[in-house]
Amino acid sequence: MTRRVRAKNLFETLLILFSLIGLIACNGDSSYKSKTQAPADKGMKAPVKMDTLSGKVAETMNSAGYTYILLDKEGEKIWVAVPEMQVSMGGEVVLTHGIEMANFTSTTLNRTFEKIIFSAGPVSGKDESVGKNVKMPPGDLPMEMMKAPASGGMGVSTPIDDVKVEKATGQDAYTIAEIYEKKSSLCNNKVIVRGKVVKVLSKIMGKNWIHLQDGTGDEEKGNYDLVVTSQEMSSVGDVITVTGTLYTDKDFGAGYKYNVIVEEASFNK
Q: Which of 50-59, 71-80, 238-247 has the lowest mean pLDDT?
A: 50-59
Question: What pLDDT was estimated at residue 222?
Answer: 87
Q: 77 is in which domain, residue-wise?
A: 3-119
- Residue where one domain finishes, among candidates 119, 153, 187: 119
Count of domains observed in the chain: 2
Kindly state whether residues 8 and 55 are assigned to the same domain: yes
pLDDT above 90: residue 142:
no
Are 65 and 165 in a shared domain? no
Q: Which of 1-5, 28-32, 194-198 has the lowest mean pLDDT?
A: 28-32
Residues 164 and 106 in one domain: no
- Residue 84 in any domain: the answer is yes
- What is the average per-residue pLDDT within 94-116? 82
Position 126 in a domain: no
Indicate whether 28 belongs to any domain. yes
Count of Cβ atoms closer than 10 Å to residue 106 Cβ: 22
State pLDDT tens for residues 117-138.
888 888 764 444 333 444 455 4
262 and 196 assigned to the same domain: yes
Please report whether residue 103 resides in a domain: yes
Considering the domain architecture, whether residues 18 and 59 belong to the same structural domain is answered as yes
62 and 110 part of one domain: yes
**Is the same domain home to 263 and 149?**
yes
The answer to whether residue 65 sits within a structural domain is yes
Rounded mean pLDDT of the chain? 74
Q: Which of 119, 134, 151 is the last residue of a domain?
A: 119
In this prediction, residue 41 carries a pLDDT of 37
Is the pLDDT score of 250 beyond 70? Answer: yes
CATH number at residue 58: 2.40.50
* Mean pLDDT, range 174-203, rounded to an integer: 94
Last residue of a domain, one of 119, 152, 187: 119
Is residue 211 over pLDDT 80? yes
* Residue 128, domain member (yes or no): no
CATH of the domain at 210: 2.40.50.140
